[in-house]
Amino acid sequence: MIPSTLAKQLAFLQEIDKLKSVIRLTPLIDRSRRENSAEHSWHLALYALVLADYAAATVDVARVVKMLLIHDIVEIDAGDVPFHAPETHVGQADRERLAAERLFGLLPDAQAAEFRDLWFEFEAAESADAQFAKALDRFQPMLHNAATDGGTWIECAVTFDQIKARCQPPIERGAPALWAAAEEMARGYFEQAAE
């Protein structure tokens, strides 16, 4: 018989496999398809490992990686809501909170509390770890869109000003050097597109 703690952990791991089926708008850089939320989370965890030196403050990279690996698990229930579709944002925070309670609640109590706390910390973006994690979460789609000649920026008729309004505050707050790079990439794309 499987011990109850292990049974809960296995149930959680089986449930989060569903994250592989949540398709995001962001294209893969090779443009072959759109990424899924599990790939996005994995990619961001590697961003944290590779780009940790650019954090605005000293961060615990292991905590940042944990946050990034769990930050989108709620999309299993709540779905991915791209910022290019503001009409879909209504009620999203409540849907995500309920999803966090259900999904992390599958785990044994101590792990459930740890994951839930990390998720809420990421959402609040008040700690240095969460600010860096949030910066990476906004930076990665910008890199993909710049590398795919506009990607979803074209598809959703997004302007440079909209990108700045949405992405500059969290990226600049958590990783100012990454905002400088992101702004340069985006500006370059929009200037070239205007020609």
How confident is the model over 152-172, as pLDDT tens digits? 898 888 999 999 999 999 999
DSSP secondary structure, 70-129, as one string = HTTTTHHHH----TT-GGG-TTHHHHHHHHHHHHHTTS-HHHHHHHHHHHHHHHHT-SHH
CATH number, domain at 146?
1.10.3210.10
Q: Is the dihedral of CA 126, 128, 130, 131 positive or negative?
A: positive
Average of per-residue pLDDT across 1-29: 95
Q: How many domains does the chain have?
A: 1
Helix (H) or strand (E) holding 18: none
CA–CA dist 29, 11 (Å, integer): 33
Percent of the chain past pLDDT 70, that is, above it, reads 97
DSSP state of 58: -
Global confidence as pTM: 0.94
Domain of residue 41: give its range.
4-194
Arithmetic mean of pLDDT over the chain: 94
